Every structure is written in structure tokens, then in C-alpha cells.
């Protein structure tokens, strides 16, 4: 992991120095999944771009392509995006066979075209899972995640003014682990990259960040049971512990959360309340 | 899945320990005595065997269900599908190595459990089978597939049971590899040793002397014909059966 980071870093550095000014625009061949609606048969359409600036983000490159399509009287390619700064979880896309592309811990919206080579062919597909049906082109319906969150319900906590800073003791280890789990942006790349289209990494992150904190204790058991039940209803696959999700997650959510989810689930099953 | 798999691993450890008796002397007496001892448990042995069969069938059924459900969870596949290097050869072939183990276990039971006991004892039967090229090959492939299966299985089971965490992950992953190597290599020793003839001379001399001549000839033949002639020649000892 660190070695591939180093190579990319070196590469990036080179292009910010002298190479930056000279680095010419890229010629790309894009194979983009086009699908009119959820029930239509989709297929790849091929587009050629010969003046892609290396400074563009991946989504900006698609914006440019869309402007051309519209100008030519064609329908724009539908894709999801919102913040474009890697924090909202709206963007998706499977780029050359990898959800969010090949860069580690990076969302699609944070990929830049300088990472690609002149003359490269790029396949762009939607996230694929039966629980994430295609809405149109590259847009998939990830509301299964919302229903899992909803099934988890509320926490019982005192509302009103902020409590005293040290009124509620939380061990640093627990706070750190909870924060790490809470970094999940709900993008669905874990499902998209899992060979079984399992949602365990997402659910484990959501269950973990509350189970680790005192505020999550009141509903600790009922929450995990309800969320897992909803997850199963949505038609995700079963986890076989291959860890591809962790490698694909733009927020680096660890599979140790999945072990915790399994622990929480067994604990809840065994408890009487 | 995880519970049945771990219990099966438990059985395999005991099974390997039992088999190692084959190496403890040259005549196979220790091993034969061990087999007799097991038989002397009578009905208890049947109970244990039934339990083992139930575990195996349950594990198989759960494994196949998981595999089919997982295939069904993504009916439209990716045109281009690239791993990120997290999954291993073993983790991506669990159902394949599992089915190889299944076929192997059936052959193995037909070889030594569902067939009549040879008059010269179980140890001699084992040595004979593992000295044949076909026998050695089947056993090496079977336990090789088992080793590969287990190299993913142990850590996976710990993860599934929630027994893993960031602190234990490395030791657990290592223990998983160790389990796979000890059982995979451990069981592979038997066909390797007997086929290569490393422990052949003294032992097989005593075995040969005890084998009726029809069987001796068949030793040189292929596995299939040898089994046929073996069955016809040993049909007189049917009271020994099971
Ligand atoms: C009949 C032959 C077998 C088949 C078809 C089979 C199939 C499978 C499959 C598909 C899995 C993956 C499921 C998952 O990762 O959740 C698996 C896991 C596993 N197998 Fe097997 N297997 C067989 C034999 C064995 C044997 C003989 C052992 C024990 C020595 C074993 C031990 C395990 C363990 C410990 C796991 C991990 C369970 C988990 O991740 O929760 N398997 N098996
Ligand atoms: S666990 Fe990672 S990949 Fe999965 S939804 Fe959360 S941020 Fe996305
Ligand atoms: S658009 Fe918000 S994370 Fe990519």
C-alpha cells in the first residue's frame, strides 16, 4: 500500500513541477455504460476525447463530455455527484473494474486526469449489485442503505444544551475507533467491490460507531438486530471475509469493524433484552 | 459455516495424530492397534461417525447456500472486474477446494472405511493404496486442496465469530496459515513417504509376505483393476466387514 502511494506521490510531484506546464492534454477512449431506465437493456457506448486537460478531475472530464453530447443533440450521461470534495458519498462509478478507481482511499470525485496516460482506454460502469439497481446510465439506487440506517432507529439521549465536556467519560481508544467507523460516507463502494455484493462493511461501520460510545448503549442490542435484518431483506450477499471492501473503501474503514458487528450481533442474540 | 468448519478442523487434528502412528513402527502394528481400539468403542464409534457426517453435510450445505446466494446478489456482472489484491487465491476458490475435498473424502471412505478389511490389517491397506501412482496422486491432490481451503478458512471463521480484532488479527492470520500447513503438509506426508518408497522397504516386505498372490500381482496394475481384483479376492472375509 505504501509503495504504491509513493509511486503516485512521486508521479504527482513531477507533474506539479516542470512537467506540469508541458504536460499535454490527453487523448482518451471511454467505454461508458448507457442504460435508459431500470428495465432497459444497457450497453457500452464508446466516446473519444482528444483534449483532456490533466488538471481536470474525473467528473469534470465527464462534464466536458456531457456538454459535447448535449451540443450534438445527444442525451447527457447521468452520474451521481454532490460535494465533489470526497465527503458526501454521492459519487460512485466503477472505473476500469474498480469502484472509485484505482487510487487508495480516494473517491471518484477526487481523482484527477493526470493519473491517466495519453491514449488510455477507460471503462466506466455503474456500481453493480442487485440491491443497488441501476436508475439510469451510471446512477444506481442506494436507498437500501437509507432503509438500513432507518431500521437502526434513534438513540435515546438528553437533548438541549451541550453537556459538560467531561461529564461522560469515554476512553480514548473507544473514541478513536468510533471516529474511524463514523468516517463512513455511505457511498456503497464496499458493496460494489465485494465479490458477493455484501453490505457488511457499511453496516459494521454504522453499528460500530454507536456501539462503542456511551450514547449508543440504550439501543445497542435492538439496533444491531434490526439493521442486520434489514440488510438481509435488501438482498445483499454474505460476507466471506475476503477484505476487498476494506481495500476499496475511500475512507479506509477496517474489516475489524465486521468482526465487531458479528460480535455485537451474537451478543444481542444471546441477551435477554 | 464457521462453527462446523472449526469442528471439522478439530476432527482433522485428531485424525492426523492417529495417522502418525503409521510412522511409529515399521510393521504397522501400532496403527492397527489404534484402529482396533477405535473399533472397540462399538456403538459409541457409530455415534461419533454420525456426528462427523452431520457436521460435514451441514458445512457442505451451508457452503453451497452461501455460494449460490452470493452469485445471485449480483446478476449483472462487471464487464471489467479488477480485484485490489486483498482476496487471495484460497479465498476466491473456497467452493472449488471444498468440492475437491468432498470428492476426495468419498474416495477416501470407499478406500478404507466402506470396504472389507484386508486380512493383513489396515496399515497394510493404507500403504498399498498410497504406493500406487493413482492412489498417491488422489491423496496429494485431496489434502493439497484441503490445505488451500484451510489457509483462508481459519481466519475467516475467527472473523465470522467476532473473535478477531485489530490486536489479534496478525496472530490469528498466522495461526490460520499454521493450521493449513500442519494439516495440509501433515496429511501429504503419507502419500509422499509411501509413494517415494522412503519408508517402503521394511514395511512393504512384511506387507507383501502377507498378501495373497492375486493381490500381489494387482499391485503393479492400475488403481481400478487393482480394486476390482482386491474385492473379489477378499470376499471370503466378510465377517470382518465394519
Ligand atoms: C465438503 C467439502 C467442503 C465444502 C464444499 C466446503 C465449502 C466451504 C465454503 C464455500 C466456504 C466459504 C464460506 C465462507 O467463507 O463463509 C467454507 C469455509 C470454511 N470451511 Fe469449508 N468446505 C468443505 C470442507 C471443509 C472441511 C473438511 C473443513 C475443515 C477441515 C472446512 C473448513 C472450513 C472453515 C473453517 C471455513 C470458514 C468458515 C467461515 O468463514 O465462517 N471445510 N467452506
Ligand atoms: S464502508 Fe467505506 S466503501 Fe462502504 S459505504 Fe462506507 S465509506 Fe463507502
Ligand atoms: S461527490 Fe461527494 S464524495 Fe464524491
Check: CB of residue A251 under 8 Å from CB of residue B155.
Answer: no
Which residue of A239, A242, A260 is the best one to mutate when testing the B interface, meaning the one whose CB has the most B CBs within 10 A? Answer: A242
Which residue in A240, A248, A261 is closest to B156 by CB distance? A240
Query: How confident is the model at residue B204, as a pLDDT?
Result: 45
Mutate to test the pocket of ligand 2, among A87, A107, A145, A205 (most ligand atoms within 8 A of CB): A205
Dist CA B80 CA A101 (whole Å): 12
Q: What is the mean pLDDT of residues B137-150?
A: 98
Cell triple for A234: 435488501
Measured at the CA of A172, the angle between CA A171 and CA A174, to 5 degrees, comes to 70
Mean pLDDT of chain A: 92
B82 touching chain A per CB within 8 A? yes
Check: CB of residue A91 under 8 Å from CB of residue A80.
Answer: yes
Q: Predicted confidence band at B217 (pLDDT cuts at 50, 70, 90)?
A: very low
Of all residues in chain B, the one with the smallest CA distance to A121 is B80
CB atoms within 10 A of CB A224: 28
Q: What share of chain B is helix, strand, coil (3-state, %, to 5)?
A: 75, 0, 25
Read off the DSSP letter of residue B165. -
Dist CA B181 CA B176 (whole Å): 9
CA dihedral A104, A109, A110, A113 (to 10 degrees): 100
Dist CA A99 CA A245 (whole Å): 10
pLDDT of B239 strictly over 80: no
Cell triple for A1: 500500500
Q: Predicted confidence band at B119 (pLDDT cuts at 50, 70, 90)?
A: confident
Is A158 or B129 the better-scoring residue by pLDDT? B129
Q: Predicted confidence band at A221 (pLDDT cuts at 50, 70, 90)?
A: very high
3 state SS for A154-171:
CCCCCCCCCCCCCCCCCC
What is B102-153 written as a DSSP string? HHHHHHHHHHHTSSPPPTT-HHHHHHHHHHSHHHHHHHHHHHHHHHHHHHHH
Measured at the CA of B66, the angle between CA B63 and CA B71, to 5 degrees, comes to 125
pLDDT of B213 strictly over 50: no
Helix B122-131 to helix B94-112 angle (10° resolution) is: 130
pLDDT of B216 strictly over 80: no
CB atoms within 10 A of CB B108: 17
Q: What is the mean pLDDT of residues A27-40?
A: 97
Query: How confident is the model at residue A157, as a pLDDT?
Result: 83
Query: How confident is the model at residue A158, as a pLDDT?
Result: 81
Cell triple for B62: 451451508
What is B33-74 written as a DSSP string? HHHHHHHTTTHHHHHHHHHHHHHHHHHHHHHHHHHHHHHHT-
A244 touching chain B per CB within 8 A? yes
The tens digit of pLDDT for each residue in A99-127 reads 999 999 999 999 999 999 999 999 999 99
Does the beta carbon of B95 lie inside 6 Å of ligand 1? yes
Q: What is the mean pLDDT of residues B99-122?
A: 93
B170 touching chain A per CB within 8 A? no
Q: What is the mean pLDDT of residues B1-9?
A: 96
Dist CA A170 CA B147 (whole Å): 44
Residue B156 with chain A: CB contacts under 8 Å: 240-241
Q: Predicted confidence band at A22 (pLDDT cuts at 50, 70, 90)?
A: low
Q: What is the mean pLDDT of residues B142-147?
A: 98
Query: How confident is the model at residue B115, as a pLDDT?
Result: 86
Q: Among B159, B58, B66, which residue's Cα sits nearest to residue A197?
A: B66
Domains of chain B in start order, with CATH, are: 2-69+90-241 (1.20.1300)
pLDDT of A68 strictly over 70: yes
Of all residues in chain B, the one with the smallest CA distance to A242 is B87
pLDDT of B229 strictly over 90: no
Which residue of B70, B85, B171 is the best one to mutate when testing the A interface, meaning the one whose CB has the most A CBs within 10 A? Answer: B70
pLDDT of B33 strictly over 80: yes
Check: CB of residue B123 under 8 Å from CB of residue B28.
Answer: yes
Query: How confident is the model at residue A13, as a pLDDT?
Result: 42
Q: Domain A142-272, what fold?
A: Fumarate Reductase Iron-sulfur Protein; Chain B, domain 2 (1.10.1060)
User: How far is A22 from chain B, CA to nearest CA, in Å?
Assistant: 32
Helix B122-131 to helix B201-210 angle (10° resolution) is: 110
B77 touching chain A per CB within 8 A? yes
Q: What is the mean pLDDT of residues A30-39?
A: 97
User: How far is A126 from chain B, CA to nearest CA, in Å?
Assistant: 9
pLDDT of A267 strictly over 90: yes
Of all residues in chain B, the one with the smallest CA distance to A243 is B86
Q: What is the mean pLDDT of residues B36-42?
A: 92
Alpha-carbon Rg for chain B, nearest whole angstrom, is 20
What is chain A written as a DSSP string? -HHHHHHHHHHHHHHHTTHHHHPPPEEEEEEEEE-SSTTSPPEEEEEEEEEE-TTSBHHHHHHHHHHHHHHTTPPPPP---SSSSSSS-----EETTEET-SSTT--GGG-BGGGS-TT-EEEEE----TTS-EEETTEE--HHHHHHHHHH-------SSPPPTTSS---HHHHHHHHHHHT-----HHHHHSTT---HHHHHHHHHHHHTSGGGSTTHHHHHHHHHHHHHHTT--------HHHHH-TT---THHHHHHHHHHHHHHHS--
Kindly report the pTM of this predicted structure. 0.86
pLDDT of B218 strictly over 90: no
Query: How confident is the model at residue A21, as a pLDDT?
Result: 53
pLDDT above 70 coverage of chain A, percent: 91
Check: CB of residue B75 under 8 Å from CB of residue A196.
Answer: no
**A20-136, superfamily in CATH?**
Beta-grasp domain (3.10.20.30)
pLDDT of A1 strictly over 90: no
Read off the DSSP letter of residue B226. H
For A27, A165, A202, A266, B16, the CA distances from B163, given in Å and listed in that order, are: 51, 34, 19, 11, 26
Residue B236 CB-density burial (10 A; 0-12 exposed, 13-18 middle, 19+ buried): exposed
Q: What is the mean pLDDT of residues B45-55?
A: 96
User: What are the structural domain ranges in chain A?
Assistant: 20-136, 142-272
Query: How confident is the model at residue B205, as a pLDDT?
Result: 41
A159-163, A203-207, B97-101: least confidently modelled range = A159-163
Dist CA A126 CA A135 (whole Å): 10
pLDDT of B240 strictly over 50: no
pLDDT of B199 strictly over 50: yes
Does the beta carbon of A185 lie inside 6 Å of ligand 2? yes
Amino acid at each position: 500500500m505504501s509503495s504504491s502511494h509513493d509511486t503516485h506521490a512521486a508521479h504527482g510531484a513531477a507533474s506539479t513541477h516542470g512537467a506540469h506546464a508541458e504536460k499535454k492534454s490527453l487523448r482518451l477512449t471511454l467505454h461508458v455504460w448507457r442504460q435508459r431506465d431500470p428495465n432497459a437493456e444497457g450497453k457500452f457506448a464508446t466516446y473519444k476525447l482528444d483534449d483532456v486537460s490533466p488538471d481536470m478531475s474525473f467528473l469534470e472530464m465527464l462534464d466536458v463530455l456531457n456538454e459535447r453530447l448535449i451540443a450534438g443533440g445527444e442525451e447527457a450521461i447521468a452520474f451521481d455527484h454532490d460535494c465533489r470534495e470526497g465527503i458526501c458519498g454521492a459519487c460512485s462509478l466503477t472505473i476500469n473494474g474498480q469502484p472509485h478507481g484505482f487510487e487508495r482511499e480516494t473517491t471518484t470525485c477526487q481523482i484527477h486526469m493526470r493519473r491517466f496516460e495519453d491514449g488510455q482506454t477507460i471503462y466506466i460502469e455503474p456500481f453493480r449489485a442487485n440491491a443497488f439497481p441501476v436508475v439510469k446510465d451510471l446512477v444506481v439506487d442506494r436507498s437500501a442503505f437509507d432503509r438500513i440506517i432507518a431500521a437502526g432507529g434513534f438513540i435515546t439521549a438528553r437533548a438541549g444544551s451541550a453537556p459538560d465536556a467531561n461529564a461522560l467519560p469515554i476512553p480514548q481508544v473507544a473514541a478513536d475507533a468510533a471516529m474511524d467507523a463514523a468516517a463512513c460516507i455511505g457511498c456503497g463502494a464496499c458493496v460494489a467491490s465485494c465479490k458477493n455484493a455484501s453490505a457488511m462493511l457499511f453496516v459494521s461501520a454504522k453499528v460500530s460507531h454507536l456501539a462503542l460510545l456511551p450514547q449508543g448503549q440504550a439501543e445497542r442490542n435492538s439496533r444491531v438486530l434490526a439493521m442486520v435484518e434489514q440488510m438481509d431483506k435488501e438482498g445483499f450477499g454474505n460476507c466471506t471475509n475476503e477484505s476487498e471492501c476494506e481495500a476499496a473503501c475511500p475512507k479506509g474503514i477496517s474489516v475489524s469493524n465486521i468482526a465487531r458487528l458479528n460480535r455485537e450481533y451474537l451478543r444481542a442474540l444471546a441477551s435477554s433484552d | 459455516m464457521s462453527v462446523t468448519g472449526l469442528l471439522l478442523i478439530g476432527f482433522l487434528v485428531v485424525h492426523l495424530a492417529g495417522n502418525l502412528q503409521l510412522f511409529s513402527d515399521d510393521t504397522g502394528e501400532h496403527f492397527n492397534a489404534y484402529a482396533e481400539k477405535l473399533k472397540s468403542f462399538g456403538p459409541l464409534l457409530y455415534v461419533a461417525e454420525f456426528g462427523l457426517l452431520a457436521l460435514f453435510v451441514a458445512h457442505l450445505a451451508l457452503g453451497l447456500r452461501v455460494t449460490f446466494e452470493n452469485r445471485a446478489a449480483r446478476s449483472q456482472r462487471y464487464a471489467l472486474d479488477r480485484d485490489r489484491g486483498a482476496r487471495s487465491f484460497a479465498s476466491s476458490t473456497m467452493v472449488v477446494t471444498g468440492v475437491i475435498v468432498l470428492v476426495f473424502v468419498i474416495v477416501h471412505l470407499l478406500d478404507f472405511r466402506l470396504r472389507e478389511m484386508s486380512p493383513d490389517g489396515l496399515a497394510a491397506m493404507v500403504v498399498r493404496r498410497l504406493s500406487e501412482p493413482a492412489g498417491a496422486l488422489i491423496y496429494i491432490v485431496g489434502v493439497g486442496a484441503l490445505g488451500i481451503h484451510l489457509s483462508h478458512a481459519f481466519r475467516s471463521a475467527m472473523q465470522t465469530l467476532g473473535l478477531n480484532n485489530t490486536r489479534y488479527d496478525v496472530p490469528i492470520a498466522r495461526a490460520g496459515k499454521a493450521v493449513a500447513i500442519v494439516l495440509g503438509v501433515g496429511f501429504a506426508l503419507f502419500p509422499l513417504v509411501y509413494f517415494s518408497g522412503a519408508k517402503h522397504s521394511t514395511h512393504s516386505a512384511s506387507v507383501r509376505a502377507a498378501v495373497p498372490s492375486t493381490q500381489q500381482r494387482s499391485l503393479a496394475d492400475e488403481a481400478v483393476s487393482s480394486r476390482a481384483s482386491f474385492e473379489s479376492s477378499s470376499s471370503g472375509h466378510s465377517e470382518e466387514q465394519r
